[in-house]
Amino acid sequence: MKPLTLKSPAKLNLFLRVLNKRKDNYHNIDTVFERIDLSDKIVLKPRRDNKINIISRSKDIPKDGSNLASKSAEALRRRFNISRGVDIKITKRIPVGAGLGGGSSNAAAVLLGLNRLWSLGLSRIRLARIAKDIGSDVPFFIYDTTFAQGRGRGESISALNSLKKVRLWHVLVVPRVKVSTPMVYKNWDKIKKDHQRAFKLDPEGQRERLTKAKYGVNILSLGLKNKDLSLVSRGLFNNLEQATIGLYPQVRKIKETLKKMGAQAVLMSGSGPAVFDIVYSKKEAIFFSRQIRRKNRSWQIFVTRTA
């Protein structure tokens, strides 16, 4: 069989509210995903033996069974008693460990691709059930949707069909640091305890913050549909930001740099450190990207849009 080539897109979190820690040590969240056109390339090439082989020039990803793409292939093989092997070639463009879901997207691309290559005939719903055991963000990339709400660990996906026609441009800024997501959530747990103590001292102030989080998705959706950046900026929310900034202060510096340049809608994606701005034209995105490059040439800067 001929090799199969697939795009593996990144995601942004336009809204991310961490709710509580679960008994399995994961966290329940409420999030809004956006698929963007910054993407990796995956090539699946059938092998004559039963080996699953990861090939990549990237020094930032594992080449063994711990790679999520490899885990995807192994999950399908075990479940459906497949005896064939596959070479998985990954050309990385999405920064690794940046809160953009690159590894999860690679895993989903492999599930979708091997479903075709091995003629399994699985629906996206069945693939998503397999995906949730590989990683919390993987199910989002299984579905053909540009915007979706994620609940539970992020694996319970609902397409936001009212945003089907929305197309956004972004300036995406990524400092050259790898964030440890477990460390960020550990810091969030600590901060939450501090907030619970603060609630007793300032109940009205804490209620106001909780209300903003509760209604953020509705405000965000309305702003996106109406192309109202003022409303969008009110709906953007990520309560992991404080936890990440405490460990990686570069995130604060990027946000401050963007805002000083006049950016209206700025947020960190996922557990960071990637920070994005929302604009409504390619011209404006290119203008901002050039200005930011003059400020700091060590940051990775991308102009990207909804995919």
Tracing tokens 């441009």 back to the chain, one arrives at 169
pLDDT per position as a tens digit, 185-204: 999 999 888 655 544 444 44
Q: Where are the domains of the chain?
A: 4-160, 169-305
pLDDT per position as a tens digit, 202-252: 444 444 454 455 557 888 999 999 999 999 999 999 999 999 999 999 999
Enumerate the active-site residues: 11, 137
The type of residue at 212 is K
User: d(Cα 190, Cα 41) in Å, to the nearest integer?
Assistant: 38
Min mean pLDDT across 170-184, 206-220, 286-300 is at 206-220
Assigned CATH class of 4-160: alpha beta
Region 258-270: mean pLDDT is 95
pTM summary value: 0.93
Instruction: Give how far Cα 76 sits from Cα of 73, 139, 160, Å.
Output: 5, 15, 29
Residue 295: per-residue pLDDT = 87
pLDDT per position as a tens digit, 25-60: 999 999 999 999 999 999 999 999 999 999 999 999
State percent of the chain over pLDDT 90.
85
- Would you place residue 274 in the very low, low, confident or very high pLDDT band (cuts 50, 70, 90)? very high
Token pair listed for 137: 């963000």
Same CATH fold, 169-305 and 4-160? no
Region 167-176: mean pLDDT is 96
pLDDT per position as a tens digit, 90-142: 999 999 999 999 999 999 999 999 999 999 999 999 999 999 999 999 999 99
DSSP symbols for the chain = ---EEEEEEEEEEEEEEEEEE-TTS-EEEEEEEEEEEEEEEEEEEEESSS-EEEE-S-SSS--STTSHHHHHHHHHHHHHT---EEEEEEE--SPTTSSS-HHHHHHHHHHHHHHHHTT----HHHHHHHHTTT-TTHHHHHS--SEEEEETTTTEEEE-GGGTT---EEEEEE-S----HHHHHHHHHHHHHHHHHHHHH-HHHHHHHHHHHHHHHHHHHHHHHTT-HHHHHHH-EETTHHHHHHH-THHHHHHHHHHHTT-SSEEE-TTSS-EEEEES-HHHHHHHHHHHHHH-TTSEEEEEEB-
Q: Does domain 169-305 have CATH number 2.40.50.100?
A: no
Query: Chain-wide mean pLDDT for the chain?
Result: 92
Residue 195: per-residue pLDDT = 59
Residue 248: per-residue pLDDT = 95
- Would you place residue 77 in the very low, low, confident or very high pLDDT band (cuts 50, 70, 90)? very high
Residue 196: per-residue pLDDT = 59
Residue 34 burial (C-beta neighbours within 10 Å; 0-12, 13-18, 19+): buried
Q: Which residues contact 235 (CB under 8 A, 6 or more apart)?
A: 14, 15, 216, 217, 218, 219, 220, 221, 222, 223
